[in-house]
Amino acid sequence: MTKHTEGQDVGLVETVKEGIVSTIEGTGDVAGAMVDTVSKTVAKTIGGIGNIAGSLVSATSQVAQGTIHAAVEVGGDLGDAAKGVVLGVLRGTKNAGDAGLQAIGHTAESVIKTTASTAGDLGSAAKGLVEGAVEGAREVGLDTAQAASAAATGALRAAGEVGSEAGSQVRQAVSGTIAGVRVVLKEPLKSDGSKTQH
């Protein structure tokens, strides 16, 4: 019933990108523009579709793409952009519990894939994702360690799909303590592992 989603996808990506670019050009505040614009866009988008898991994942992915493309266009810091995406998604959806952790993981994957497609700094983006997850978790009442783990694991999963060098960059960036929280990586299943062979 949603055959028209491809056109909507492009529309949302462009809407987010244009909104962030114009806000940044108007204020010069890259980090603030990311968080504010993404949060408002996600809240509006989610409000329009209801909190349906598939729709939330799709909207989150599109918002992440638009945000990273905007950061690249204005020469913004990808770490700030990634942090703003996660914060915005958590503020926009106001999800606590498992839904919030899933939103963080999906957002992290989208940000890393989009960053890789723009040849951006994956390490900076991955660290920003964890910082945003920790700050957002505090705001919406999620466990900060679980939020940091969800962001790092989602980033690592996406980087692994990009390639081994990308995986190494992200693993190095998210290892240790970030924003006062010790990051615990949950190793993603490898697509070429014995249990997933076709």
pLDDT digits (tens, 9 = 90+) for 32-62: 777 777 777 776 766 666 556 667 778 888 8
Q: What average pLDDT does range 76-98 have in this prediction? A: 83
Q: Is 87's pLDDT higher than 80?
A: yes
Of the pLDDT bands very low, low, confident and very high (cuts 50, 70, 90), residue 74 is confident
Q: Which of 108-112, 154-158, 187-191 has the lowest mean pLDDT?
A: 187-191
CA angle 99, 157, 165 (to 5 degrees): 155
Separation of alpha carbons 127 and 101, rounded Å = 17
Per DSSP, the three-state class of 62 is: helix
Exposed / middle / buried, residue 185 (Cβ in 10 Å: 0-12, 13-18, 19+): middle
User: Is residue 144 very low, low, confident or very high in pLDDT (cuts 50, 70, 90)?
Assistant: very high
Task: Enter the tokens of residue 29.
Answer: 């505040």
In this prediction, residues 88-99 reach a mean pLDDT of 78
Report the distance separating Cα 178 and Cα 22, nearest Å: 31
Q: Which one is predicted more confidently, 148 or 2?
A: 148
Find tokens 């989208």 and name the residue.
110
Cα separations in angstroms, 124 against 74, 111, 120, 121, 198: 17, 11, 9, 6, 35
Please give the pLDDT value at position 93: 77
Question: For 116-132, what is the mean pLDDT?
Answer: 95
Rounded to 5, what percent of the chain is helix, strand, coil? 80, 5, 20
- pLDDT score for 174: 96
CA–CA distance, 89 with 42 (Å, rounded to integer): 6
Question: How does the average pLDDT of the chain come out, rounded?
Answer: 82
